[in-house]
Amino acid sequence: MSRLVIVFESTHDAIAAKTALQSIKPIVLPTPREISSGCGIALMIDSSHLCFAEDSLRNNNIINFSTYEICGEDKKQYIKIGSEHSE
């Protein structure tokens, strides 16, 4: 199963997201250097939880985030698969 990294523009959003997603047990990690972000912490989830995670974040008014798939043999490559941003 593949893993996803969700990055945020603020630490406040990252902490709120961890609480909103507690039922799927996200892993807190430093934002990978390969991904530019305004926040130093990110969440890792299983890809099977993507729809639930996106819906939960939106329902909790967390709208400034981007989602990346972890790939590559060394697991240090990231492909952006989605983002949400306020207007």
Q: What is the pLDDT of residues 11-43, one digit of tens each?
A: 999 999 999 999 999 999 999 988 876 789 999
Write the CB contacts of 14 (distance below 8 Å, at least 6 apart in sequence).
8, 28, 39, 41, 42, 43
**Integer Cα distance of 62 and 76 in angstroms:** 26
Task: Give the tokens for residue 2.
Answer: 């593949």
pTM: 0.89
Task: Give the tokens for residue 65.
Answer: 């985030």
pLDDT of residue 85: 66
Q: Any idea which residue has 């400034």 for tokens?
A: 64
Whole-number average pLDDT of the chain: 90
Q: Which amino acid is at 50?
A: L
**Integer Cα distance of 51 and 63 in angstroms:** 14
For 49-70, what is the mean pLDDT? 95
pLDDT of residue 86: 52
